[in-house]
Amino acid sequence: MNRDPDCIFCKIVAGEVPSFKLFEDDATLAFMDINPANEGHALVIPKEHATDLYAVSDAVLARTAATAKKVAGALARTLAPDGLNLVQCNGPAAAQSVMHFHVHVLPRVKDDRLAMNWGLKLGDIDAIGRLAERIRVWI
């Protein structure tokens, strides 16, 4: 499997960096974002390293989308958000900070005024871990 030794998400896939995993299969991994833009913010990645949308294969993209749908359903059951976005960023102007293809699964609260380039702010790690346990029940 294609891997970049300097990539933080490849390290998460390999278990070299800890994460709050929600789901994994042979091709994809879902885990909590540690800088949540909103409560329940999760990420879905292919296990294989691909930089961005241009680089990911159609087959892996489809698998990633399927996992994102699974996670979205679990988030909906756990948090009953007012809405939910799938967001995917390519390149610095689009606020891509990790160069390993990923999809944000982002619960929304009515009038949360979340902007597209929302910025990174470390969340409450213990609370994120507890929430991950509640979401996993629904996957």
Residues that bind ligand AMP (CB under 6 A): 8, 17, 19, 33-35, 43, 89, 95-98, 120
**Residues forming beta bridges with residue 30, ordered by sequence position:** 23, 44
Amino acid identity of residue 47, one-letter, is K
How many whole angstroms separate alpha carbon 51 and alpha carbon 102?
A: 9
- Which is catalytic among the residues 41, 49, 100, 102? 102
Are residues 77 and 65 in contact, defined by beta-carbon separation less than 8 angstroms?
no
The DSSP 8-state label assigned to residue 105 in this structure reads: E
Q: Which does 78 bind (CB under 5 to 8 A by kind): Zn ion, ligand AMP, none?
A: none
> Residue 19 half-sphere exposure, CB side, CA atoms within 13 Å?
24
Q: Which of residues 70-129 bind Zn ion (CB under 5 A)?
A: 100
Q: With respect to ligand AMP, which residue has the nearer C-beta, 13 or 60?
A: 13
N-terminal to C-terminal alpha carbon distance within the chain:
25
How many whole angstroms separate alpha carbon 102 and alpha carbon 62?
A: 12
Q: With respect to ligand AMP, which residue has the nearer C-beta, 74 or 128?
A: 128
**102 catalytic, yes or no?**
yes
Q: Which does 86 bind (CB under 5 to 8 A by kind): ligand AMP, Zn ion, none?
A: none
Q: With respect to ligand AMP, which residue has the nearer C-beta, 35 or 57?
A: 35
Q: Which does 60 bind (CB under 5 to 8 A by kind): ligand AMP, Zn ion, none?
A: none
Q: Report in angstroms how near the CB of residue 19 gets to ligand AMP at its nearest.
A: 5
Active site residues: 102
